[in-house]
Structure 1
């Protein structure tokens, strides 16, 4: 599933890598006179580096014309590429195998990169150097291990010095799908890390080849290939003999360099032959590079975490993450995984619909299911939300003072949850805070809340497990308690409920909005919709509208204002104000968790706004549409004369 724009690039890259690898494999075994070990080296590196590996093959190793390979590969820069190819093919293969195993095993990143180094060095030394190069190097297997140890140590240190920080920082960066081998991004990061490692190791391999401490590119021809002319261009006997002589000279040079003494550069003049001091200095320098490459990620990311800890989390752009950011914080701040969406609500669906209870004896029973859905907040703009009963806000529970209620909550989220009944007086075990009054409701489990309603007014319910994440993603709903005595009701001709919410939608993903860097919201909703998709309240001049403001949001205090004249504040946090305590206002600050009931008179005909007075909150992604956006509702009053 394509979750981020980079996923499309990765697919394109992998296709190019497959085509490039297929071509290199075909051409190596059909046309190119390289030993088998180098053929496989180029194939593996092209598999890892895609078109970059193909470029190296064509420019440095692919025989341009028949019988020209010896001369073509002679330049030192090409020999250095051959040596690096051989190094990367072995070392990277070991590193990749180790990376997969450590990720599946759940090892922390700091241990992961150590295991990767050991595995890469072992495969490079014992397999690709001592074993696969045995025929060229001469001597016994263990002699080759000893002779190859120091060159392989220098080369591996340099490669891992470049590769380790790249992998650690990118894997533990914003998109931590990169930590899991089941994700495309894991392989993309591995490929990029190998590319950086190749670039860092290359100059060291050039030096090693120049000192005849490592093999570069070679030519291996079968009997019928030797001296073969390139059709029409080298058809003369002279050219054929020259080509054969070049090959013989090249083969002789490599044969002499293939024995154990080659490992010490004894064929070079004394002034050019490597000394023990030079070798020790190079080894020490690359070891310092390696230590720096390992240490640097510890200053930026939490190296104590594993792929299991972070759970393929994706952080919002601009979110600050440091070396001590806990895994639980990352998962709480992470985007909703689109693959968890189990229901896509119709674009015109509305939330907060009244849920009718069923009766079991004298108990009113409600069923709530928490799940992941896709919800339209604006035409063309959807969010991946946590929802009760497939709607945002969750269904409105409307009961009467004195009712006995039972609410069965089923959890179909990818994480645990609970429900809190905000502001209610009830038995402690029914209150809902996870780990405080109850065990969390795990995925696939259910829990029943049962209590007698002893209050009246405007209340709401919301999650109380990972609250900053789950409530911000939509787990809330209104709980309206009508008075047992109808005479205690606050009369009005119409009623409208305003449940506030903030959202952050970036890079196709939905993140929980939070008052922190990178998590500030860019969309705002009333009852799950942003203006101009919010409902229009229709009234007539002279009628009274009761507006129930509910601070179901989690981020901001919203100064809610109604045009067309002041309103009367008649209830606060579910408590009806005495007549002498009521007051007129045109703006009330609705903080998270607060509720205000206000009465507004339709004095004049026309279209009057209910809106937040923070201007940014009346935009959609900072854009005004049809006069505004976000936290705006139109009251359309008909009748009478304008004036």
Structure 2
């Protein structure tokens, strides 16, 4: 039997398969605009696996046809609520940025239809996958760019389990800056292998959106003002609810322009996977912070032993806040009350900021342009949390049902377990 990939060649294969797809009918391309975290998608057919939960996202359904798993991605402009009060006009897939997570099993033959509804051509690169060269998705090198309005088809066998991504390799600076990315999870063929109780995934993104604007400045290389997980910023990032005693995996991919040290409070974890594969148990080590290089993925695992609301965030301090002017002078310890009074006579709403630090920003309700988030936002049970950007919480609860991913609310601390004010003696 002749291998049709070898016979047709990569470029001809894509064009020919596009025509065949039109003749035989495209699979459905579901779309979703909600930023809610959807429950895991239990596989309806094929080899069973333990599905992931995409933070503030969802998994793309497929159809089984002739021994193939068929998916349909639509590259298109989307609107994404970064957090309540701010919406960005991005590019993504199937109604969202990032696009829906693709899940399959090692050994699956996957056929992915990609329809281009962007205003320019595009491709999709399957980051970390080992596949035929003509399916690698690098426009001009391994395939023609997908023209506006056309549908191309990618076919390959997923050869190894792990944590991967998809993103364009076509006008990459613009398209990735506009939010085009998605997670690609390949599960082990043996569902008992690498099994965990809860398996989360999200991708890191960065945007430069001026106050009051909706569209990112795509030429920005370093000075971003919004740091996002799955195109959401705190307080818009969903928590990670887990049952006490669960073994938890968190898969994180970095498609920003810098590294991110992701820090988890209250637990130590091990790095168990990269986009190159699983880390051998003998090579793992205990950590509380994992540094994600640009263009890389990491999977961390731990047992959620300690109940509470534990912070999970990037440890670069500017990445745990929302938009701010990086040219603001440092005014700590400067007495500018006299200047402030003079300015207030001309600008009645003028406010003094920064002479005691920036913590006041967490409680201020100062006027902002429409479609602009405060630098610090989000309230907890004890007041302003004074965070933004890449920040959320791991919510460990004793009584959480196994399949329940709803926000359980704030943790109720047992008596005597909250830091308290010293008033002359320690309570008995």
TM (norm. structure 1) is 0.44
Q: 1:346 to 1:433 in 2, by over 3 A?
A: same
Q: Which residue number in structure 1 is paired with residue 293 of structure 2? A: 591
Is 1:581 the counterpart of 2:283? The answer is: yes
* Structure of higher RCO (CA pairs closer than 8 Å, 6+ residues apart): 2
Matched ranges for 1:65-464 at <5 A? 345=33, 352-464=57-169
- Select the residue among 232, 237, 245 that pairs with 1:534: 237
For residue 437 of structure 1, give the secondary structure of its aligned residue in structure 2.
coil
Q: Which residue number in structure 2 is paired with residue 505 of structure 1? A: 209
**Mapped partners of 1:606, 1:419: distance in 2:** 40
Q: 1:482 to 1:564 in 2, by over 3 A?
A: same
For residue 147 of structure 2, give the secondary structure of its aligned residue in structure 1.
coil
Shift of 1:359: 1.4
User: Which range is displaced more, 534-543 or 476-485?
Assistant: 534-543
**Mapped partners of 1:412, 1:500: distance in 2:** 24
User: Relative to total residues, which structure has the larger helix share, 1 or 2?
Assistant: 1
Shift of 1:354: 0.7
Question: Contact 1:370 / 1:388 at 8 angstroms: preserved in 2?
Answer: yes
**Mapped partners of 2:218, 2:302: distance in 1:** 31
- Select the residue among 298, 302, 314 that pairs with 1:612: 314
Q: Which residue number in structure 1 is paired with residue 179 of structure 2? A: 474
Is 1:639 the counterpart of 2:404? The answer is: no
- C-alpha deviations, 1:161-199, integer Å up to 9, x for none? xxxxxxxxxxxxxxxxxxxxxxxxxxxxxxxxxxxxxxx
Q: 1:450 to 1:609 in 2, by over 3 A?
A: same
Which of structures 1 and 2 has the bigger CA Rg?
Answer: 1
**Mapped partners of 1:355, 1:512: distance in 2:** 29
**Mapped partners of 1:403, 1:344: distance in 2:** 25
User: Relative to total residues, which structure has the larger strand share, 1 or 2?
Assistant: 2
Q: Which residue number in structure 2 is paired with residue 630 of structure 1? A: 389
- C-alpha deviations, 1:220-256, integer Å up to 9, x for none? xxxxxxxxxxxxxxxxxxxxxxxxxxxxxxxxxxxxx
Q: 1:588 to 1:523 in 2, by over 3 A?
A: same
Question: Contact 1:386 / 1:475 at 8 angstroms: preserved in 2?
Answer: yes
User: Which range is displaced more, 593-602 or 358-367?
Assistant: 593-602
- Matched positions, count: 297
**Mapped partners of 1:600, 1:633: distance in 2:** 17
Q: Which residue number in structure 2 is paired with residue 7 of structure 1? A: none
Q: Which residue number in structure 2 is paired with residue 186 of structure 1? A: none
Shift of 1:554: 2.6
Question: Contact 1:468 / 1:554 at 8 angstroms: preserved in 2?
Answer: no
Q: Which residue number in structure 2 is paired with residue 525 of structure 1? A: 228
Q: Which residue number in structure 2 is paired with residue 485 of structure 1? A: 190
**Mapped partners of 2:231, 2:74: distance in 1:** 18
Question: Contact 2:235 / 2:377 at 8 angstroms: preserved in 1?
Answer: yes
Q: Which residue number in structure 1 is paired with residue 258 of structure 2? A: 556
**Mapped partners of 2:57, 2:257: distance in 1:** 21
Question: Contact 1:365 / 1:408 at 8 angstroms: preserved in 2?
Answer: yes
For residue 470 of structure 1, give the secondary structure of its aligned residue in structure 2.
helix
Question: Contact 1:513 / 1:555 at 8 angstroms: preserved in 2?
Answer: no
Question: Contact 1:540 / 1:602 at 8 angstroms: preserved in 2?
Answer: yes
Shift of 1:515: 5.5
**Mapped partners of 2:305, 2:154: distance in 1:** 44
Shift of 1:533: 1.1
Shift of 1:632: 1.0
Q: Which residue number in structure 2 is paired with residue 600 of structure 1? A: 302
Shift of 1:349: 8.1
For residue 134 of structure 2, give the secondary structure of its aligned residue in structure 1.
helix
- C-alpha deviations, 1:575-595, integer Å up to 9, x for none? 111111111111111122211
TM (norm. structure 2) is 0.66
Q: 1:344 to 1:547 in 2, by over 3 A?
A: closer
**Mapped partners of 1:360, 1:391: distance in 2:** 26
RMSD (Å) for aligned C-alpha atoms = 2.1
Shift of 1:378: 0.8
Question: Contact 1:352 / 1:478 at 8 angstroms: preserved in 2?
Answer: no
Shift of 1:540: 2.7
- C-alpha deviations, 1:547-581, integer Å up to 9, x for none? 11111x23121111111121111112241111111
**Mapped partners of 1:617, 1:384: distance in 2:** 21
For residue 207 of structure 2, give the secondary structure of its aligned residue in structure 1.
strand
Q: 1:475 to 1:637 in 2, by over 3 A?
A: same
Q: 1:618 to 1:514 in 2, by over 3 A?
A: farther
Unaligned residue ranges in structure 2 (runs of 5+):
1-30, 39-55, 325-374, 379-384, 400-412, 418-428
Q: 1:460 to 1:605 in 2, by over 3 A?
A: same
**Mapped partners of 1:558, 1:459: distance in 2:** 18
Question: Contact 1:574 / 1:596 at 8 angstroms: preserved in 2?
Answer: no
Question: Contact 2:78 / 2:97 at 8 angstroms: preserved in 1?
Answer: no
Question: Contact 1:371 / 1:386 at 8 angstroms: preserved in 2?
Answer: yes
Shift of 1:498: 2.4
- C-alpha deviations, 1:56-99, integer Å up to 9, x for none? xxxxxxxxxxxxxxxxxxxxxxxxxxxxxxxxxxxxxxxxxxxx
Question: Contact 2:205 / 2:229 at 8 angstroms: preserved in 1?
Answer: yes
Q: 1:394 to 1:344 in 2, by over 3 A?
A: closer
